[in-house]
Amino acid sequence: MDAAPLRAEAAFATDAAAAYIAKLCKHFRHKIEASWDDASGEARFPGAVARFTASAGRLDIAIDAEDAASMTRAKAVVEDHLLRFAFREQPEALDWRESGGLA
């Protein structure tokens, strides 16, 4: 999936972005294709691709999807796992910015 018509983006304020990328991708690769390095990662869900980027003080997330159902599922899975993994930071729900007909 190279060109997706739908996109959602969110940022999560944290000083542990690289660690969360590794944890998310390691977890996801048990069921789907996932890869990562020290500053970024990618998880390929059915119909959607989630990309993670670590920067100073935050984790950026971008999801590209083929359709609304794939987007909804990918966002839910990514957000649920991130919020569970980051429980010590007492996170709130992610504020997704959507484009490509989702808004």
**Domain ranges (residues) in the chain:** 6-95
CA distance 103 to 92: 21
CA distance 87 to 103: 29
Q: What percent of the chain has pLDDT over 90?
A: 81
State the pLDDT confidence band at 2, using cuts at 50, 70 and 90: very low
Q: Are strands 58-65 and 6-13 parallel, antiparallel or unpaired?
A: antiparallel
What pLDDT is recorded for position 90?
82
Condensed to tens digits (0 to 9), the pLDDT of residues 14-45 reads 999 999 999 999 999 999 999 999 999 999 99
Q: Which CATH number fits domain 6-95: 3.30.70.150, 3.30.310.50, 3.20.10.10, 3.40.800.10?
A: 3.30.310.50
What's the pTM value of the predicted model, to 2 decimals?
A: 0.89
Condensed to tens digits (0 to 9), the pLDDT of residues 60-81 reads 999 999 999 999 999 999 999 9
Token couple for 34: 């996932």
State the pLDDT confidence band at 93, using cuts at 50, 70 and 90: confident
What pLDDT is recorded for position 1?
44
Contact 14, 57 (CB under 8 A): yes
